[in-house]
Each structure stands twice: as structure tokens, then as C-alpha cells.
Amino acid sequence: MTDVLASKVASPSAVLSGVTADHTEGMSYLQTLPRRLVTLYLPLSVIISVLLFPFY
Amino acid sequence: MADLALKPAIAGRPVRGVSAWDRLKVNRDWLGLWFMLPAAAFLLLFLAYPLGLGVWLSFTDARIGRLGEFVGIENYEWLWDDSVFWLSVFNTLLYTCVASVFKFAIGLYLALLLNHNMPFKAIIRAMVLIPFIVPTVLSAIAFWWIYDSQFSIVSWSLRKLGLIASNIDFLGDTWNARWSVIFANIWRGVPFVAITLLAGLQTVSPSLYEAATIDGATPWQRFRYVTYPLLTPIIAVVMTFSVLFTFTDFQLIWVLTRGGPANATHLMATLGYQRAIGGGYLGEGSAIATAMIPFLLAAILISWFGLQRRKWQHGESND
């Protein structure tokens, strides 16, 4: 159980350096910045680009 | 104590005969009826009457400027043998099924993305809504320009990248036109689905996700066993509305293709309008519009009974 959890939590150094922490509630601190870039910001930016494209 | 003090005064008052009107004035049911009356009149005038008139016209040979006579199911018999009508039924079902599935999938994915904590969260959510709040005709004109056979920016970009040799005929080819209008509808419908599902996601307690994570649930398992079950009731409502709006879509098609090329993008709504207003055959157009009702009822029933809130979500066991 703890092994599974440990694999999900970002490395302590990354958390301490503030790379992952966005100082908001929720479990976002469990994700590293590269992971957030791939799973959140990249797809979001693609979808928003498509949605706003016709207004160019 | 106060009741005791009041009683002699009431007892001393001369008793007046209480009429039926007096009793009616303080009757809650009667008052409720009066309060409902404006809304009922509004619904009768603007919903029930046009619907009833449309159904009645479908049984007549009415034309523009002529009342017409009752002809029974002649209009429906005519439609039964009309290949263009069946093509419009096929187009409508294809348009609704493909667009609804994609709108749901992309809308749900977008809602899950927007549910994360991120900088400029409010601005991003507002930006997502723009395609939905822009008037349909305006966005259809934008797509008309994007799909232009000569000046399309998509064709231009692909040509510059060396991926195609000549411009894509988006609205001139039958299947290209079908996929193009479906894409435009998906583009317009995704924000509605996403923002409504996001509202549903906001009601899911973060403690459930935390508990699932502690139990070792993967992101997919958290979605499958926490998010999806709790989101089912709102999915039912959103998809019912989405299917209804898509099935009855008119503006987007009319601005982009007017049903062409060769009726390839005619939906039942556009064909009914073309026959009734363009052609002047009100009876035939009304029959096409009335023929949409069974499909719409079926869509509502499937959505409602298939996706409504399960008993276990109330803490009870399923039958």
C-alpha cells in the first residue's frame, strides 16, 4: 500500500523546491511539473486553441 | 395564554356568513392555480399551440396563402416514398450520433482538465465558453470562411506544409460536407457539455478522491468508481439536452450548406423548412417536422431511463 502511494507522490526535493506545489487545495501536489505539463497543460492548450481558432 | 385572552373577544364578535368565495380566496389550491395561470397560458400559447398547429397542418394540404383541407396521412405516405426524406433521416441520425458522442467525450475530458487547480483558472474557464456564447450564425460564418474552397486557412496551411497538393473541397463533396458540419457542431457544443459537467464535478467531495488514492486507486479507477457514478445524473441531463439540440439543429446547416451538396447535409429540420417555407408546401414540411417527434421522444426516454440516478446513489441497494 505504502509502495503504491510512494510511487504516486512527487519527489520530496521537487515538492520542497516548489516546482509542483501551486499552493492550492486538492491533490495536485502529488504530481510533478513535467507530468502536469503532459497530462494537463498540453491537452488543455490544444483544446483551447481549437476552440478559439475560428476567432482568429 | 394569548389564545385564552383572545377567545372571549372572538366569541363576542358577531358571526358573519362565510360565503363560498371567501373560502375560495383563502384556499391554497385555488391560489396555486391562479399563480400557475400566467405560466400555463404562456406555455399553451407559445409551445402547445404551435405544436398542435404543426401536427394539424401535417394532415392537410395547406400551402402558403391557402388554408388547405384535411387529407389524412397522405403527406406521410408521400414522405414514405421520398428518398430525400430518408436521406435527411440518415443525415440527422448520423449528425446526432457522431456529434453527441464526440461532444460528450471531449466535453467530459475538458471538464476533468478544468477541474484541476491551475493559474488563471477563472479566465481559462471563461475562454472555453466563448464558442457557446457566440451567436450560432456568427460562428457558422466563421466556419464558412474556414471551409471555403479557395480561401480556407486549413487548406492553405496544409499546402504550405506540403501535405496536400490542392485545396480541400470541404463543402463541395458529400462526405467532406457531412464531416465538416459535424465538426462545426462539435466545436460549438463542447463548451456547453464541459462547463455543465464541470459544475457537476465541483460537487464531488475531494475526500473521496483522497480516500481512493490512499486505497491505491489508479487515476482511471478514481474516474471509473468515484467520478463517473457521481456524475451520472448530470450526464443524463446534459446528454438529453445535447441530443435534443443536435437533432433539431438548423442554423449551422442552413448557413454553411443549406442542405447541399445534393442534399448530403439536409437534416430533417432544414428539409422541413425548405419544403414548408421555401417550397410553400406547409403540409409536407409540417409532416417532416412531426416525424421528428418519435425520434426525440426515443432519445429522451433512452437518456432518462438509461442514465438516471441509481438507487444505490441514495444509499439503497439496486433491485
Amino acid B61: pLDDT:
93
Q: Report the C-alpha gap between B231 and B242 in whole angstroms.
A: 16
The verdict on a CB contact (< 8 Å) between B116 and A28 is: yes
| A47/B118 touch (CB, cutoff 8 Å), yes or no | no
Nearest to B192, CA basis, from B148, B147, B238:
B238
Q: pLDDT tier at B18 (50, 70, 90 boundaries)?
A: confident
Distance from CA of B117 to the nearest CA of A (A): 7
- The mean pLDDT value for B150-165 works out to 93
Of A4, A40, A55, the CB nearest to B116: A40
**Confidence band, pLDDT 50/70/90 cuts, at residue B85:** very high
pLDDT reported for residue A30:
67
The mean of the pLDDT values for chain B is 88
> What band does B316 get if pLDDT is binned at 50, 70 and 90?
low
**Comparing A20-24, A27-31, B11-15, B207-211, which segment has the lowest mean pLDDT?**
A20-24
pLDDT at position A17: 43
Minimum mean pLDDT among B1-15, B123-137, B222-236, B259-273: which range? B1-15
CA distances, B81 to each of B35, B78, B84, B131 (Å) = 49, 6, 9, 39
Q: Do B187 and A54 make contact, defined as CB atoms within 8 angstroms?
A: yes
pLDDT of residue B302: 82
**Confidence at residue A22, expressed as pLDDT on a 0 to 100 scale:** 39
Least confident of B85-94, B119-128, B182-191, B286-295: B119-128
pTM: predicted TM-score of the whole model, two decimal places: 0.80
Residue B153 contacts A where some CB pair is shorter than 8 Å? yes
Q: Which residue of B lies nearest to A54 if distances are taken between CA atoms?
A: B142
Predicted confidence (pLDDT) at residue B103 exceeds the cutoff of 90: yes
> What sign results for the dihedral spanned by CA atoms B165, B167, B171, B177?
positive
Tens digits of residue pLDDT in B241-294: 999 999 999 999 999 999 989 999 999 999 999 999 999 999 999 999 999 999
> Residue B20: its pLDDT value, please?
81
Which residues from B are below 8 Å from A25, CB to CB?
Answer: 117, 206
Asked whether the beta carbons of residue A40 and residue B117 sit closer than 8 angstroms, the reply is: no
| Residue in B113, B117, B191 closest to A43 by CB | B113
* Distance separating alpha carbons of residues B52 and B286, to the nearest angstrom: 11
8 Å CB contact between B222 and B213: yes
User: Is B216 part of the contact surface with chain A (CB cutoff 8 Å)?
Assistant: yes
Give the list of residues 6+ apart from residue A4 with CB closer than 8 angstroms, or none.
Answer: B216
Question: In chain B, whose CA is at the least distance from the CA of A26?
Answer: B206
List phi, psi (to 5°) of B281: -90, 85
Chain B nearest C-alpha distance from A16 (Å): 18
The whole-number average pLDDT for the span A27-40 is 79
Give the lowest-confidence range in B38-42, B182-186, B200-204: B200-204
Among the partner-chain residues B130, B190, B209, the one whose CB lies closest to the CB of A52 is B130
Q: Residue A48 and residue B213: Cβ atoms within 8 Å?
A: no
Alpha-carbon distance of B149 to B153, in angstroms, equals 10
Question: Which of A27, A38, A51, A52 should one mutate to test binding to chain B, selecting the residue with the greatest count of B CBs within 10 A?
Answer: A51
Query: Which residues of chain A make contact with B213, given a CB cutoff of 8 A?
Result: 5, 8, 27, 30
Please state the rounded mean pLDDT for residues B76-81.
Answer: 94
Confidence of residue A7 (pLDDT cuts 50, 70, 90): very low
- B114-132, pLDDT tens digit by residue? 998 888 889 999 999 899 8
Q: Least CB-CB distance to B216: which of A1, A41, A44?
A: A1
Q: Tell me the percentage of chain A whose pLDDT exceeds 90.
A: 21
Chain A residues 1-56 within an 8 A CB cutoff of chain B: 1, 4-5, 8, 22, 24-28, 30, 36, 40-41, 43-44, 47-48, 50-52, 54-56
Q: How far is B23 from chain A (nearest CA, A)?
A: 58
Across the interface, whether the CB atoms of A54 and B130 are under 8 A apart is answered: no
**With an 8 Å Cβ cutoff, is B190 touching chain A?**
yes
Assess whether pLDDT exceeds 80 at residue A31. Answer: no
State the average pLDDT over residues B175-188. Answer: 95
| Secondary structure of B240-282 as H, E, C letters | HHHHHHHHCCCHHHHHHCCCCCCCCCCCHHHHHHHHHHHCCCH
Task: Please check the confidence at residue B314 and state whether its pLDDT lies above 70.
Answer: no
- A48's CB contacts (< 8 A; 6+ apart) are B124, B127, B128
Condensed to tens digits (0 to 9), the pLDDT of residues B123-156 reads 999 999 899 899 989 999 999 999 999 999 999 9
